[in-house]
Structure 1
């Protein structure tokens, strides 16, 4: 078993709209791309019984 918290960056959904400005619009990912990245990240994680917090490229996000 593995519990994963995945940070997709800014995704082009209604949830992101209130937080956008002209400089961030070009940095949005499509929902399809984010879903593909999530599956790619999941393919490389080990079911070690531990929780992981990872960003969209699969790098761990450190937290305490």
Structure 2
């Protein structure tokens, strides 16, 4: 969607810093989910809490960053 918005004349310029921050957070979430999934036992609560908190932070960045 960012690429389409950048190419469009109807949409204002995209905030690349915001997109970069969201991408880094999403990559960290994906990495933690992969590590948590690799564990043979029940996933550790610390990993689950970090996943939830980072997902909420990512949504807050999307909504509140102007």
TM-score with structure 2 setting the length: 0.32
Higher relative contact order (CA 8 A, sep 6+): 1
Greater share of strand: 1
Q: Which protein is bigger by CA-based radius of gyration? A: 2
TM-score with structure 1 setting the length: 0.32
Greater share of helix: 2
